[in-house]
Amino acid sequence: MHNLDGYSIKDYGEMVTDPVRTRAFVTALTQAITPDSVILEIGTGTGFFALLACKLGAKKVYAVEPDNAIEVGKLCARDNPDTDKITWIQGLSTEITLPEKVDIVIGDLHGTLPFYNFNLLSMRDAVARHLKPGGMILPSRDKLHAAPIESPEDYTTIDQPWAQDVYGLDLRAGRRFLVNSWWRRPVTKTVKFLSVAQCLGEIDYANITSPNLDGECDWPITSDGVVHGLSLWFDSDIGPHASYSNAPDLPGLVYGNAFFPLETPVRVKSGERLVFKFSAKLIGEEYVYTWTSEHIDETGKTLARFMQSTFHGRPISRKKLEFASPDFMPVISDEGILALHVLQAASEKASVGEIADRLMSKLPAHFNDREQALAAVQKILQKYQTK
């Protein structure tokens, strides 16, 4: 089964116990649910909001989650009244068909930023295929905000390991990957804003036209200091009277907030400007973030300009580049050959035991005993069999 985010049960528990986040969703659900409500929860995790929807009197709940965490929800359902209204579906909301359209779609698919995996596409699909016309989607709107910050602590992640003298070694070549990366700031770190936050763009969940976002901020510097980077966060309207924000100057939420470094920290003075352009683009299965920053003095002269992108944030392996060429002739690994035999036998409707026996006769050098062959077969089938 898909494991999009790889959350542990501990992580799901921390989401539920985040008082600000969970309270906002509880408030919105309490206001929205009526005895006629049919609800879809996208990404139910361990089922908390689905169980809550039953408690609040919903008529029917579809709880969808690809992760095995959904089993925890089913177990908890046994200990709570009225939870037989829940249909648990292990899978992706984008790949299922429901027997009816729903009144409310709820899904907290946020990461540190609203862009996370296919979350915006999932919400768009839910509105198009699962939600009744005029139905409600929770969250309803995110506003992406940014501010230039002084945060030497964040910059030590770049400067300390990738420096000229690290135990006598020059490691500066690694620096370029870090300055083209962003990271989640732990909520405990302090931060100094060097200008007032501005909005980079909005996501209206009922009307998502694209998973991408482009935005621009033009900040008048309001305090002297050193800009180490930009902090990005979202203010989320969950329902009409329920909202929260993971801004770095507010009590920390489970999401943390994002830090996008400048290529080099810049010393700024009141009266100067920092112009920031930001783009989030879903390319294949991943978001690529690109950000340009221009430091401009009182007279309009550019003092520094940086263009950074997560596209340059990871080293590229020469081997993988070769592999991208259509002329490249692949050689299948031992593991691949094993998978080939297992899948071939499975497609011929052999049982797990029969597949293991066939493997042992075809690849005798691979296994010490039948137990080992069975384990190898199960590992491969776990990945490819229909759940």
Ligand X SMILES: C[S@@+](CC[C@H](N)C(=O)[O-])C[C@H]1O[C@@H](n2cnc3c(N)ncnc32)[C@H](O)[C@@H]1O
Q: How far apart are CA 185 and CA 112, in angstroms?
A: 9
Among 48, 88, 233, 287, which residue interacts with ligand X (rule: CB under 6 A)? 48
CB of 244 to ligand X, least distance (A): 12
Q: Is 65 in the site for ligand X (CB under 6 A)?
A: yes
Q: How far apart are CA 79 and CA 363, in angstroms?
A: 49
Structure-block tokens of residue 356: 């293991």
Q: Which residues lie below 8 Å from residue 212, measured CB to CB, with a gap of 6+?
A: 279, 280, 281, 282
Q: Is 109 in the site for ligand X (CB under 6 A)?
A: yes
Binding mask 117-156 toward ligand X (x if CB under 6 A, else -) reads --x--x----------------------------------
Dihedral class, residue 5 (left if φ above 0, else alpha if ψ from -120 to 50, else beta): alpha
Q: Which residue number places its CB atom closest to ligand X? A: 43
Q: Which of residues 8-27 bind ligand X (CB under 6 A)?
A: 12, 15-16
Structure-block tokens of residue 64: 């969808």
Whichever of 4 and 359 has its CB closer to ligand X, that residue is 4
Q: Within 10 A of 15 (CB to CB), how many other CB atoms are there? A: 18
Whichever of 15 and 345 has its CB closer to ligand X, that residue is 15
Percentages helix, strand, coil for the chain, rounded to the nearest 5?
A: 35, 30, 35
Whichever of 193 and 244 has its CB closer to ligand X, that residue is 244
CB of 109 to ligand X, least distance (A): 5
CB of 258 to ligand X, least distance (A): 16
Taking CB under 6 A as the binding criterion, the range among 92-100, 205-213, 258-266, 335-343 that sits at the site for ligand X is 92-100
Taking CB under 6 A as the binding criterion, the range among 89-97, 128-136, 160-168, 374-382 that sits at the site for ligand X is 89-97
Whichever of 195 and 245 has its CB closer to ligand X, that residue is 245
Whichever of 21 and 273 has its CB closer to ligand X, that residue is 21
Helix axes 334-347, 352-362, angle to 10 degrees: 140
List the one residue out of 168, 43, 119, 126 whose CA is nearest residue 280: 119
Q: Is 256 in the site for ligand X (CB under 6 A)?
A: no
Q: Is 64 in the site for ligand X (CB under 6 A)?
A: yes
Among 28, 38, 49, 124, which residue interacts with ligand X (rule: CB under 6 A)? 49
What is the Rg, in whole angstroms, of the alpha carbon atoms belonging to the chain? 25
Q: Within 10 A of 41 (CB to CB), how many other CB atoms are there? A: 30
Q: Is 7 in the site for ligand X (CB under 6 A)?
A: yes
CB of 365 to ligand X, least distance (A): 39
Structure-block tokens of residue 281: 């683009």
Strand, helix or coil for residue 117? coil
Q: Is 94 in the site for ligand X (CB under 6 A)?
A: yes
Among 44, 83, 90, 257, which residue interacts with ligand X (rule: CB under 6 A)? 44
Asked whether the beta carbons of 116 and 88 are under 8 A apart, the reply is: no
Taking CB under 6 A as the binding criterion, the range among 64-72, 239-247, 268-276, 339-347 that sits at the site for ligand X is 64-72
DSSP 124: H
Bond into 35 cis (ω within 30): no
Among 37, 62, 67, 120, which residue interacts with ligand X (rule: CB under 6 A)? 67
Residue count at the site for ligand X (CB under 6 A)? 23
Whichever of 67 and 150 has its CB closer to ligand X, that residue is 67
Among 29, 32, 33, 42, which residue interacts with ligand X (rule: CB under 6 A)? 42
Whichever of 114 and 261 has its CB closer to ligand X, that residue is 114
Q: Which residues lie below 8 Å from residue 183, measured CB to CB, with a gap of 6+?
A: 154, 157, 258, 259
Asked whether the beta carbons of 280 and 289 are under 8 A apart, the reply is: yes
Q: Is 363 in the site for ligand X (CB under 6 A)?
A: no
Among 45, 135, 225, 239, which residue interacts with ligand X (rule: CB under 6 A)? 45
Q: How far apart are CA 183 and CA 14, in angstroms?
A: 20
Asked whether the beta carbons of 176 and 313 are under 8 A apart, the reply is: no
Asked whether the beta carbons of 315 and 306 are under 8 A apart, the reply is: no
Residues that bind ligand X (CB under 6 A): 4-5, 7, 12, 15-16, 42-45, 48-49, 64-67, 92-94, 108-109, 119, 122
